Structure 1
Amino acid sequence: MAMNRRRFLYAAAAGAALFSRMPDLRAAGYDLIVRGGRVIDPSLGIDGVRDVAVAGGRIAAVQENIGADAAEIIDARGKLVVPGLIDIHCHAAAAKDGPSLVLRDGVTSYNDAGSYGADGIDQAAAVVKRGPNFGRLLVNISRIGIDIQQGELHDLSLADVDLARAAISRNRDVVVGVKVRLSNNVTGANDLEALRRAQEAASSFGLPVMVHIGQSYSPLPAILSLLKRGDMITHVYAPAPNGILDDSGRILPEVLAARRRGILFDFGNGTLAHFNWDVFERAVKQGFVADTISTDWVGAQSRTTNVVDLPNVMSKFLMFGLPLIDVIAHVTVNSARAIHAFSDRGTLNVGAPADIAVLDLREGSFQFMDNYNGIRTGRQRLFPIATVIGGKKAPDRA
């Protein structure tokens, strides 16, 4: 399938300059080598059998048949070796052992998308800082964070801009944006004002806003009109009312215009009315593929839903014909470009942090589910096999 955003997909080549100033790590010897896997790195245009060597917590070499020994060897023959996966929309900071659980899925970097507002962001920041992987946070514009039962923005007084600004200021090292959920059951008629307040808080720091769409009170074009370059729409394939398709199933012109002016679109698999196969298929057939693939993972219970893990969610795009290298790009280089804090991640470039995911691409008959119990069958599925974080092998998933 031809991609319509290759400039965004492979803009990472410019990132090579970031690492050109790094010392030659090969001189220090290797701590770990991942041997013999099919290395796929969209940022470098690599798709072939290589060894990946690590020294001092950084990528030291990506070459055929590295002859040196290392303190630890990972045999990746017959497997995929890719940059550590970035889940740009999950809720790992709010889940018990969330960061360590997603790490075992190959997720070396994650973005907790608004689990907490101003009232709880300090707690979330502490979780991020002590986690084994690289985590960042979006602060929810509602001071109470996500309220699944009642909806956190029916009372607009909870969308307190001053409190949000103070929360960001206190945690500027880990807060990378503002989140606002705009479904009707979350906001009612308050959606556009809640978004305006989210923008007001974010703009003080030059940060993006991530907007959860799906069955909103206001039409999507009204929401899009309030977004700036670098902002993100998540749950892009949410069904009507007020999704990305018009009544005839075509992509709204306002959606296409938003993409042209730099608005990013994230998948956000989730479980509650966030996508169905009909919208997914219609959009992809029109060439409208999400910029980033994410899970909306909420904890160990996600294993028993249609989410399972990020490799499973990636496999849904393989089922619709997206090339494997593009699917990898959607969880590595694309996510790294979407949020500046991840700009040195999502690559196996020499000098980059040694974050690596080893995946198994299995052939067979696999069932994939949307948020409405709709089932489609695909012939390929990705499974997490091993993860390296900062040059050290993480515990395997049970």
Structure 2
Amino acid sequence: MGDKVVLRNVKTVNGHAVDIVIAFGKIVEITRAGEASGSEIRDCTGLYVSSGWIDMHVHAFPEFEPYGDEIDEIGVKQGVTTILDAGSCGADRIGELRGNAERARTRLLAFLNISHIGLERVDELSRLEWIDVEKALQACRDHKDFIVGLKARISRSVVQRSGIEPLRLARVLSYETHLPIMVHIGSAPPMIEEVLELMENKDIITHYLNGKPNNLFDSQGDPLPELLAALNRGVHLDVGHGTASFSFKVAEYARKAGIRPDTISTDIYRANRLKGPVYSLANVLTKFLYLGYSLEEVIYAVTEKAANWLNRPELGRIQAGDEANLTLFELKSGKITLTDSEGEERIADQYIEPRGAFVNGTFTEC
């Protein structure tokens, strides 16, 4: 993309109208609306721009069922420029995932499943011998610029009789690799209090708004003391909507208690993309608008906040000299039915619709 492309009269989430000039895959100039010149003018009146959306929890290894999908189907085609595969692969197949990433338009990073078999099975932590520390360490050495953390799914159906021990082993591996852990929470055992006790600064609780009995809020909707203690230690809250892990009721408890998401993510894969209740990152963001969060808060959670967790601040800003890493989207008026993981429906009167994304110097229309 050598010619100067001007995104004319596009609006930032704080309401400022600007022109953004892109050449050779980089942002070369940002001016007031109507002032930039270039060889191609794209009228973006009515559109918002942000730095490229980052989805912190996806499953992008299509070879695995049920938790798999094509990278670009859940990436740039949905306006998402960076996705983080949340533990689809362990040490056995992380190299294949990286190979797939190199052929995709979407930027892909990964959490390494602490089980070397990954999601080849959905009870991947039920046998402790599947947690091969040496294999995991070697994978982290071989793919150190690709792996951003470790993933441990700590819920009853995954760990079975292994209980809390997989998370203890993940903690040891975290110390050896200096990588944080993303912890999937769900049904007990283990009890959520045991899980929280082992979490430290920069670790991620994903599915924090799930509606299962073993969740982070008591029967009155108040946050558990162990959750508050974990947040004080710097533990990060991620939505990870998924098929079974987002409840409007719990999300309302959380907002009332001031327990806000650090990052908003989908836990998307083929089935919940095509048949719901996830559909897309935009659909999940719309749910947070419905819950009363501002557009700035919602977009911040998938741009700057996510980029800062990754220690990649350039992915969360729009600045001349940086790579053109942008998402264009519209905030549309109209009734839309939103469904949570419990089957509960809410009617919203506005929704976010992605229109395109720039990543790696290439524009993809949504």
**Normalization by structure 1: what TM-score?**
0.86
Matched, 1:52 2:23: no
- Per the TM alignment, residue 70 of structure 1 is displaced from its structure 2 partner at its CA by 2.5
Counterpart mapping for 1:76-95 below 5 A? 76-94=44-62, 95=68
Matched, 1:364 2:334: yes
Q: Secondary structure at the match of 1:359?
A: strand
Residue number among 216, 219, 234 corresponding to 1:262 in the alignment: 234
Partner of 1:72: 40
Residue ranges of structure 1 left out of the alignment (5+ in a row) = 1-28, 41-45
Does the aligned pair in 2 maintain the 1:92–1:102 contact within 8 Å?
no
Partner of 2:359: 389
Matched, 1:338 2:306: no
Matched, 1:140 2:113: yes
CA distance in 1, matches of 2:160, 2:123: 9
- Per the TM alignment, residue 300 of structure 1 is displaced from its structure 2 partner at its CA by 6.9
| Offset from partner CA, 1:237-257 (integer Å, 9 cap, x none) | 112332111233210111112
Matched, 1:292 2:260: no
Counterpart mapping for 1:210-249 below 5 A? 210-249=182-221
- Per the TM alignment, residue 30 of structure 1 is displaced from its structure 2 partner at its CA by 6.2
- Per the TM alignment, residue 96 of structure 1 is displaced from its structure 2 partner at its CA by 5.0
Residue ranges of structure 2 left out of the alignment (5+ in a row) = 63-67
Cα RMSD after superposing both structures: 1.8
CA distance in 1, matches of 2:216, 2:235: 13
Partner of 1:163: 135
Percent same amino acid among aligned pairs? 33
CA distance in 2, matches of 1:181, 1:207: 16
Letter in 2 for 1:73: I
CA distance in 1, matches of 2:253, 2:292: 13
CA distance in 2, matches of 1:68, 1:364: 33
Letter in 2 for 1:108: T
| Offset from partner CA, 1:331-361 (integer Å, 9 cap, x none) | 0001111122x33202112222211111111
Matched, 1:250 2:200: no
- How many matched pairs? 360
Counterpart mapping for 1:298-337 below 5 A? 298-299=269-270, 302-337=273-308
| Offset from partner CA, 1:299-321 (integer Å, 9 cap, x none) | 37513211111111100000011
Q: Secondary structure at the match of 1:62?
A: strand
Letter in 2 for 1:280: A
| Offset from partner CA, 1:96-134 (integer Å, 9 cap, x none) | 532354211111111111001111111011112222122
Q: Secondary structure at the match of 1:385?
A: strand
CA distance in 2, matches of 1:102, 1:73: 25
Partner of 1:373: 343
Does the aligned pair in 2 maintain the 1:117–1:139 contact within 8 Å?
yes
- Per the TM alignment, residue 364 of structure 1 is displaced from its structure 2 partner at its CA by 1.5
Residue number among 71, 87, 93 corresponding to 1:120 in the alignment: 93
CA distance 1:202–1:128, shift in 2 (3 Å) = farther
Q: Structure 1 stretch 158-167 or stretch 300-309: which is displaced more? A: 300-309
CA distance 1:96–1:236, shift in 2 (3 Å) = closer
Matched, 1:104 2:65: no
Q: Secondary structure at the match of 1:98?
A: coil
**Normalization by structure 2: what TM-score?**
0.93
Letter in 2 for 1:52: I
Letter in 2 for 1:260: N
Q: What stretches of structure 1 move > 6 A for 4+ residues in a row?
A: none
CA distance in 1, matches of 2:112, 2:274: 25
